[in-house]
Amino acid sequence: MNNEKYYEEIEHLIKKSEIGKRARVLEENNNTVTTYWNVGRLIVEAQGGEKYAKYGNELIKKWSVRLTEQYGKGYDATNLRKFRQFYILFPKCAALRRTLSWTHYKRLLPIKDENRRNYYINLCIKNNLSERELAKEIKSNSYERLIDKPEKIDIITTSKYSITTNMKDPIIIEVNKEITSEQDLELSILANLDFFFKQLGEGFLYAGHQFKVSNGIKNYYIDILLFNLNLNCYVIVELKLRSLKKEDKAQIEYYMKLADENIKLPHHNKTIGIIITKESDKLIVNFIKSEETIPLTYKLEQIKETINE
């Protein structure tokens, strides 16, 4: 009896459900941040504007009693004052970052210096910091320990990676000599890493080859392990001396999972994957794109910019 098709359907349903859960968590976080920002805005407006907001504590006390009775202590006077401060520090709702939760923003509220505050926001965006990790950075005086502090620190715009009209998908690399085994292919790439990185894009570093990862029962060996500075994540490269097959994607996604569990650090983004296959006298570089990974592009770029080749 072949039960594999039932497993595949079960796996598909679970994956769809898990993705939905994560999407709902993100939506809930965004709604919470937006709601608290708007509550702060309305409090400031009711108090006559930002200049007079600090004199409106009696209004906050009165409203907090009513809101706490109806919705709980999350709307007590202390929190209403935080919502008001949140709006004053971030007067433009569009400038709020989706990657930061309300717990992140609460940690940032006591920071009066805008440069210092923006520095920590940028750290969160670049390194995907949790609130606890952000707290450690602040406690260690990460900003104060900077040797050269910029005069002005602006909040960075999160890079979005997408396929554009100039994107090579897949990338094709000419093979100059006959390759008869996957070992030949691996050695050829390792001997010409600089050329190989230029074909992939920017920010790639070599991390190892035949790199061992384990699920606790069995060891697996990654053909080539890279790290991308711009994406802040490990990149698994698997080599196949043939055309791409469906099972290749499942294999590399499993290796990506093991890498996330074994070598990825908390501040790194999720591991992504590349499968290199061979067609005639050409290497085909296949980027793995799924709900769990950030798509790579031929060249990293802001979403509205074009690629200069």
pLDDT of residue 267: 86
Side-chain-side CA neighbours of 36 within 13 Å: the count stands at 24
**203 and 280 fall within a common domain:** yes
What is the b/e burial string over 221-235, where b = at least 16 CB atoms within 10 angstroms of the residue's CB? Answer: ebbbbbbbeebbbbb
pLDDT in tens, 178-212: 667 777 777 767 776 766 776 676 788 888 888 88
- Let me know if residue 199 belongs to a domain: yes
Side chain identity at residue 208, one-letter code:
G
Structural domains counted in the chain: 3
- Let me know if residue 294 belongs to a domain: no
**111 and 154 fall within a common domain:** yes
| Structure token pair of residue 126 | 């670049």
Helix 77-89 / helix 57-71 crossing angle, nearest 10 deg: 120
Q: Return d(Cα 80, Cα 40) in angstroms, integer.
A: 7
pLDDT of residue 177: 56
**263 and 191 fall within a common domain:** yes
Side chain identity at residue 199, one-letter code:
Q
Whose tokens are 């650090």? That residue is 265
**233 and 278 fall within a common domain:** yes
pLDDT of residue 138: 92
**181 and 271 fall within a common domain:** yes
pLDDT at 55 over 60: no
pLDDT in tens, 161-174: 332 223 344 555 55
Omega of the bond leading into 170 within 30 degrees of 0 (cis): yes
Please provide the average confidence, as pLDDT, over all residues in the chain. 77
Distances (CA, A) of 179 to 114, 170, 183, 242, 279: 57, 20, 9, 11, 11
Average pLDDT for 85-99: 84
**22 and 45 fall within a common domain:** yes
- Let me know if residue 146 belongs to a domain: yes
Neighbouring-strand partners of residue 221: 212
**42 and 70 fall within a common domain:** yes
Q: How confident is the model at residue 289 (pLDDT cuts 50, 70, 90)?
A: low
Instruction: Out of 39-53, 132-146, 230-244, give the one with best mean pLDDT.
Output: 132-146
What are φ and ψ of residue 215, in 5° steps?
-100, 10
Q: Return d(Cα 169, Cα 297) in angstroms, integer.
A: 8
- Let me know if residue 303 belongs to a domain: no
- Let me know if residue 73 belongs to a domain: yes
Last residue of a domain, one of 61, 81, 96: 96
**154 and 181 fall within a common domain:** no
Average pLDDT for 122-140: 87
- Let me know if residue 64 belongs to a domain: yes
CA of residue 112 relative to chain centroid, distance: 27
- Let me know if residue 217 belongs to a domain: yes
- Let me know if residue 306 belongs to a domain: no
Range of the domain at 63: 4-96
Instruction: Out of 53-67, 117-131, 166-180, give the one with best mean pLDDT.
Output: 117-131
Q: Return d(Cα 175, Cα 205) in angstroms, integer.
A: 22
What are φ and ψ of residue 160, in 5° steps?
-115, 135
pLDDT at 48 over 90: no
| Structure token pair of residue 165 | 């009209």
**180 and 261 fall within a common domain:** yes
CATH code (residue 252): 3.40.1350.10
Q: Return d(Cα 48, Cα 168) in angstroms, integer.
A: 56
pLDDT of residue 85: 92
Task: Single out the residue of 205, 207, 97, 116 nearest to residue 159, CA to CA.
Answer: 97
What is the b/e burial string over 131-149, where b = at least 16 CB atoms within 10 angstroms of the residue's CB? Answer: bebbeebbeeeebeeeeee
